[in-house]
Amino acid sequence: MASEHTVEAQLPGVFYRRPSPEADEYVKEGDKVSAGDTLGLIELMKSYHEVKADASGKVKKFLIENEGEVQPGEGIAVLLSE
Amino acid sequence: MGGEAMFEVIKAGLETAVQDYPGRIGYWNQGFPPSGPMDSWSFRLANVLVGNEPGEAALECQFVGPELRFHRDTVVAVTGGDMQPRLDGEPIELWTSVAVKKGQTLTLSYARTGARGYIAIAGGIRTEPWLGSRSTFHKAGVGGFEGGALKEGQQVPLGDAQGTPGLRVKDAARPTIVTDKRWLVEVTAGPNDDWLDEAGRKLFLETDWKLSPKSDRTGYRLDGPGDRITFADKAINKRPEHGSIPSNIIDQGYPNGAVNLAGETPIILVKDGPSMGGFINPYTVPTVGFWKLGQARPGEVLRLTEISVDEAQKQAVEMTRICSGESLESA
């Protein structure tokens, strides 16, 4: 049975879905990810910190848009595991 | 021998570093900032809880805390923002002294409130002082342990002292870490408030400035209508050595806590900030407001409120009184 899992931000800052402005997104909605895969970056204290999936599954949707502000505990993405 | 008087870094957290208070004092004229804790209120009370002098070397944790294994029995206290501390997996109270057994692991998670947590250990941290202080100055790679933030696998030396578990900081003596994302930060006027006109000063004090993620222990960037700040005549019609834009001034010393107007962006110069430069500082954050910067998160609002130098000094003295044994009670 499919179950949903929300990946939460641990850091406050600005969320980015790409490693750099010209690069492709780390993952797209619908992609499959494994635990430990990078979903995006959070900018904090003048540096960029990776947001990693803490479960495996299909990315159902992102809850924060690219360059959106995020606070600790807020959902970043919903994963659908089977 | 001291081989056992230490803790081991299992996970470092985000630039977790040794700091002491008031930090590296007396070298500002050579460009060395004070460093030390961003929130000296929470920092000092952590030390007081474990029986240390308020300024003893302890850990500053930023946004995500470390995991530490203790190699001897001791007493610890965790204060500041709520990083959900656990001892061997069991939650422990903030603002309380807690006995730790040899082999136990203290784990801090992410900051559920505020931005910085402080871990004090009975006897303090006994890293090598540099220019009279154990504080970490990240940018220059000096102080702290091996010149920087903690790293996985390090064994950090501790002083020898007992400490008393089961003490807590009275509620009234704790700093209030806001949860509505709005901070009212005290400032004193000057040194260059006279370079703004009345409308410029009013804009400074009546704006909801937003703390940028491009902020660290060097400077806190404030997003807002910096391009609409207006200036006094002396900022516009000035001798060429003062520079070309209104916020330029001939190079001058900067106070720690200066609200520096770098072109159109206010940047509050904090614990590892620069000692001098060529921009004006219309306001300065005194001790009583400064600790709040240590707990504010990017995206939160800073509103600046002017107080007199007399009032700022009075409140700094009061904070020092609070950061003492008289604020403790039995848990």
Q: In this predicted model, what pLDDT tens digit does every residue of B20-56 receive, in sequence order?
A: 999 999 999 988 999 999 999 999 999 999 999 999 9
CA-nearest residue to A46 within chain B is B214
Say how far residue B165 (Cα) sits from the centre of its chain: 26
**For residue B61, is pLDDT > 80?**
yes
Verify that B160 and B31 share a domain, yes or no: yes
> How long, in residues, is chain A?
82
pLDDT of amino acid B1: 40
CA distance A49 to chain B (A): 10
pLDDT of amino acid A20: 94
Beta bridge partners of B167: B330
- Amino acid residing at A48: Y
Contacting residues of B for A72, CB less than 8 Å apart: 63, 110-112
Verify that B167 and B191 share a domain, yes or no: no
Verify that B187 and B167 share a domain, yes or no: no
Domain tally, chain B? 2
Owner of token pair 């000063």: B201
Verify that B132 and B191 share a domain, yes or no: no
Verify that B134 and B95 share a domain, yes or no: yes
Residue B191 preceded by cis peptide, ω within 30: yes
Per CATH, the number for A3-81 is: 2.40.50.100
**Residue B326 included in any domain:** no
Verify that B189 and B146 share a domain, yes or no: no
A10·B109 Cβ contact <8 A: yes
Return the sign of the alpha-carbon dihedral for residues B164, B326, B23, B186. positive
| Cα–Cα distance, B309 to B108 (Å, whole number) | 37
Owner of token pair 């005549």: B233
Residue A11 contacts B, CB cutoff 8 Å: yes
State the virtual CA torsion across B159, B163, B165, B167 in degrees, nearest 10. Answer: -120
Verify that B169 and B220 share a domain, yes or no: no
A69·B299 Cβ contact <8 A: yes
CA-nearest residue to A47 within chain B is B214
Q: Which of B153, B173, B193 is the last residue of a domain?
A: B173
Distances, alpha carbon A68 to alpha carbons A9, A65, B299, B303, in Å? 12, 5, 10, 22
Give me the CATH number covering residue B225.
Answer: 2.40.100.10
| Cα–Cα distance, B89 to B313 (Å, whole number) | 42
Domain that holds residue B202: 182-321
Contacting residues of A for B294, CB less than 8 Å apart: none
Could you say which DSSP state residue B127 is in? P
ipTM, 2 dp: 0.88
Mean pLDDT on B237-243: 95
**For residue B4, is pLDDT > 80?**
no
Verify that B10 and B151 share a domain, yes or no: yes
**For residue A17, is pLDDT > 90?**
yes
Verify that B157 and B25 share a domain, yes or no: yes
Q: Which residues of B touch A (CB under 8 A)?
A: 14-15, 62-64, 109-112, 115, 213-217, 297-299
Residue A48 contacts B, CB cutoff 8 Å: no
Say how far residue B153 (Cα) sits from the centre of its chain: 26
Burial degree of B103 (CB within 10 A; 0-12, 13-18, 19+): exposed
Contacts of B161 (CB under 8 A, 6+ apart): B50, B51, B52, B122, B123, B124
Verify that B18 and B136 share a domain, yes or no: yes
CA distance B241 to chain A (A): 32
Q: Which of B173, B197, B215 is the last residue of a domain?
A: B173
Q: pTM here?
A: 0.95
Beta bridge partners of B265: B262
Verify that B136 and B239 share a domain, yes or no: no
Contacting residues of A for B63, CB less than 8 Å apart: 10-12, 44-45, 72
The mean predicted confidence, pLDDT, of chain B is 96
Q: Which of B173, B207, B231 is the last residue of a domain?
A: B173
Verify that B253 and B130 share a domain, yes or no: no
The tokens for B321 are: 């009184």
User: Which residue in the set A10, A12, A73 is minimally distant from B299, CB to CB?
Assistant: A12
CA distance B237 to chain A (A): 35
**Residue B327 included in any domain:** no
